[in-house]
Amino acid sequence: MTALAQLPTSSGEPAAAPIVRRGRYKLLPYLLLLPGAAWLLVFFALPLLQLAAASLYDPSGSLSTGYAMTWAFGNYPDALQAYWPHFVRSFAYSAIALVLALLMGYPLAYAIAQKAGRWKNLLLVAVVAPMFTSFLVRTLAWKTILSDNGWLVGLLRDVHLLGPDGRLLATPVAVVLGLTYNFLPFLVLPLYASLERLDYRLLEAANDLYASPLRAFQKVTLPLSMPGLIAGTLLFFIPATGDYINAELLGTPNQYMIGNVIDSAFLVRLDYPQGAALSFLLMAAILAIVFVYLRKAGTEEVL
């Protein structure tokens, strides 16, 4: 653990170099991790364990009579059987919103990264600026935009895309639009980070080799932007699936997602075992989808 070097002195005799002690520095990275690890333990791992225990409580209990730990694993199939349509609706809405966000977000990220020039910073601020406003306020703004007496519905009626009694609010369309808008920056920013590093000379080389713009996109731009694309789709899809604000404010009970059911179980019906079981079912489903997606997409640069 020590190192000695022979250094010449003014008298010509070798002198020992200072001893370098490295042992004490080996623990330094772990010591730096302690605050973050303690935070995750106290505010994530322990509550997660408590939630796991709550999911196995006797479902016949209540806050007034108390819940007993009966290892009621039947809470999981019962919750899934009762609310599987909400799971399907949550993943369907999130998938549709993700497709819409990709159709808008990828060209936007590419334009900012490669074509914006001196306007790049301003456009990035425009993408991020809505995040400085409350999520609730932004969703309420969409409720106003999509209202039956709003300008958007009036315009769509004038061009006969909606019937005289047609509406957008309180429909699946409104919920999907709300998800797309609220989570779009989570997709655009990772995409921008990948596309901003794209070497434009590679596209010029593809053009020199007579590749069409579509072919150059398929063979150069898209593969090089995959790390940002994978990260962005995950950052969009995961919170969108568990969201309940958009369905609450822009939809009706017919459009409720699984997040609305979990919210009601904990805060309205006070059915903690069912709410905890639904939470773990949602988490397990998302983890399974993410695992399969990462295996299929390739994650060398992402992970």
Question: Cα dist. 202→80, 109, 119, 120, 208 in Å?
Answer: 50, 18, 24, 21, 10
**Predicted confidence (pLDDT) at residue 115 exceeds the cutoff of 90:** no
Q: What is the pLDDT of residue 299?
A: 53
Q: What is the pLDDT of residue 301?
A: 47
Mean pLDDT of 110-118: 86
* pLDDT 10s digits, 210-224: 778 888 888 888 888
pLDDT confidence band for 11 (50 / 70 / 90): low
Per DSSP, which regions of the chain are E strands?
A: 6-8, 14-16
Q: What is the pLDDT of residue 23?
A: 58
Residue scoring higher pLDDT (13 or 46) = 46
First to last CA, the chain: 34
pLDDT confidence band for 2 (50 / 70 / 90): very low
Residue 300, SS3 per DSSP: coil
Residue scoring higher pLDDT (257 or 220) = 257
**Predicted confidence (pLDDT) at residue 147 exceeds the cutoff of 50:** yes
Mean pLDDT of 61-88: 88
Residue 66, SS3 per DSSP: strand
CATH superfamily of domain region 73-297: MetI-like (1.10.3720.10)
